[in-house]
Amino acid sequence: MPGTETAYQPTDRTVPTRSRERAAYDRELVHAILDAAYVCHLGFVRDGAPVVLPTLYGRVGERLYVHGSTGSRPLRMAGQADPGLPVCLTVTHVDGLVLARSAFHHSLNYRSVVVHGTAHQVTDADEKRTALDALVDHVVPGRSADSRPANGKELAATAVLRLDLAEVSAKLRTGGPNDEPEDLGLPHWTGVVPVRTAYGAPVPADDMDPSVPLPGYLAAL
Amino acid sequence: MPGTETAYQPTDRTVPTRSRERAAYDRELVHAILDAAYVCHLGFVRDGAPVVLPTLYGRVGERLYVHGSTGSRPLRMAGQADPGLPVCLTVTHVDGLVLARSAFHHSLNYRSVVVHGTAHQVTDADEKRTALDALVDHVVPGRSADSRPANGKELAATAVLRLDLAEVSAKLRTGGPNDEPEDLGLPHWTGVVPVRTAYGAPVPADDMDPSVPLPGYLAAL
Percent of chain A's residues with pLDDT above 90: 84
Q: Which of B51, B101, B198 has its CB closest to that of A196? A: B198
Cβ B204 vs Cβ B218: under 8 Å: no
Residue B95 contacts A where some CB pair is shorter than 8 Å = no
Domain extent, residue A193, equals 20-219
Using an 8 Å CB-CB cutoff, list chain A residues near B41: 41, 43, 52, 54, 90, 92
Of B77 and B52, which is predicted with more confidence? Answer: B52
* The pLDDT value given to residue A44: 96
In chain B, the number of structural domains is 1
Distance CA A200, CA A198 (A): 7
A3: confidence class by pLDDT, cuts 50, 70, 90: low
Q: Does A81 touch chain B (CB under 8 A)?
A: no
Do residue A154 and residue B192 have CB atoms under 8 angstroms apart? Answer: no
CA distance A3 to chain B (A): 24
Which of B185, B201, B212 has its CB closest to that of A187? Answer: B212
Residue A30 CB-density burial (10 A; 0-12 exposed, 13-18 middle, 19+ buried)? buried
**Range scoring the smallest mean pLDDT among A2-11, A116-125, B134-143, B189-198:** A2-11
Greater confidence, A218 or A69?
A: A218
CATH code: domain of residue A49: 2.30.110.10
Q: What is the pLDDT of residue A38?
A: 97
The answer to whether residue B187 is domain-embedded is no
Is pLDDT at A34 greater than 70 in this prediction? yes
Asked if residue A95 is part of any domain, the answer here is yes
| CB contact (8 A) between residue A150 and residue B45 | no
In a domain, residue A81? The reply is: yes
* pLDDT one-digit tens code per residue, B122-148: 999 999 999 999 999 999 999 999 999
Check if B89 contacts A (Cβ < 8 Å): yes
Q: Is A202–B191 a contact, with Cβ atoms under 8 angstroms apart?
A: yes
Q: What are the pLDDT digits (tens) for A154-198? A: 999 999 999 999 999 999 999 999 999 999 999 999 999 999 999
B7 to chain A, any CB pair closer than 8 A? The answer is no
Is it the case that residue A80 has pLDDT exceeding 70? no
Spatial separation of the C-alpha atoms in residues B91 and B146, rounded to whole Å: 27
pLDDT of residue B2: 55
Encode pLDDT of B174-220 as tens digits.
Answer: 999 999 999 999 999 999 999 999 999 999 999 999 999 999 999 88
Question: Is position A115 within any domain?
Answer: yes
pLDDT band at A221 (very low <50, low <70, confident <90, very high): confident
Question: Read out DSSP for chain A?
Answer: -TT-SSBPPP-TTTS-SS-GGGEE-BHHHHHHHHHT--EEEEEEEETTEEEEEEEE-EEETTEEEEEEETTSHHHHHHHHSTT-EEEEEEEEEEEEEEE-SBGGG-EEEEEEEEEEEEEEE---HHHHHHHHHHHHHHHSTT-GGGSBPP-HHHHHHEEEEEEES-EEEEEEE-SS----GGGTTS-S--EEEEEEEEE---EE-TTS-TTSPPPHHHHT-
- Mutation site for A-interface testing, chosen from B52, B65, B193 by largest number of A Cβ within 10 Å: B52
pLDDT band at B82 (very low <50, low <70, confident <90, very high): low
Chain A interface, best mutation among B208, B209, B211, by max A CB count within 10 A: B208
Burial class, B17, CB count within 10 angstroms (exposed 0-12 / middle 13-18 / buried 19+)? exposed
Candidates A44, A188, A221; nearest CB to B50: A44
Region B144-173: mean pLDDT is 96
CA separation, residue B172 to residues A46, A187, B94, B167 (Å): 23, 42, 10, 17
Q: A140, B95 in Cβ contact below 8 A?
A: no
From CA B188, how far away is CA A204, in angstroms rounded? Answer: 11
Residue A148 forms contact with B (CB below 8 Å): yes
B15 within domain boundaries: no
CB A100 within 8 A of CB A106: yes
B68 falls in which pLDDT band (50, 70, 90)? confident
Q: What is the mean pLDDT of chain B?
A: 93
Report if residue B90 sits inside a domain. Answer: yes
B-facing residues of A in 118-147 (CB < 8 A) are 132-133, 136, 139-140, 143-144, 146-147
Q: Classify the C-alpha dihedral A181-A183-A187-A193 as positive or negative.
A: negative
In a domain, B61, yes or no: yes
Q: Which residues of A touch B192 (CB under 8 A)?
A: 202-203, 205
pLDDT: is B72 or A89 the higher one? Answer: A89
Q: Would you put residue B19 in left (φ > 0), alpha (ψ -120 to 50) or beta?
A: left
- Partners of A184 in beta bridges: none
- What pLDDT digit, counting tens, does each position of A19-30 carry? 788 889 999 999
Maximum average pLDDT range among A77-81, A213-217, B68-72, B79-83: A213-217
Q: Which of B17, B103, B218 sits opposite A72 (nearest CB)?
A: B17
Q: From A89, A109, A119, select the one nearest A175 (Cα to Cα).
A: A109
User: Looking at A8-12, A165-169, B74-78, B211-215, which range is the least confident one?
Assistant: B74-78
CB contact under 8 A, B52 and A90: yes
Give the C-alpha separation, A17 to A152, whole Å. Answer: 47
B46, part of any domain: yes
What pLDDT is recorded for position B4? 62
Per-residue pLDDT reduced to its tens digit, B27-48? 999 999 999 999 999 999 999 9
Contact list, A94 vs chain B (CB under 8 Å)? 39, 197
| Pairwise CA distance, residues B119 & B89, whole Å | 10
**Residue A196 pLDDT:** 97
A81 pLDDT band, cuts 50/70/90, is low
Instruction: Pick the residue from chain A with its C-alpha nearest to B102.
Output: A148
Rounded to 5°, angle at Cα A75 from A122 and A113: 80
Confidence of residue B77 (pLDDT cuts 50, 70, 90): confident
Q: Whole-angstrom distance between the N-terminal and C-terminal Cα of chain B? A: 36
Q: Please, which pLDDT band fits residue A131 given cuts at 50, 70 and 90? A: very high
- pLDDT value at position A68? 87
Whether the ω angle into residue A213 lies within 30 degrees of 0, i.e. cis, is no
160-199 in chain A: CB under 8 A from chain B: 176-177, 183-199
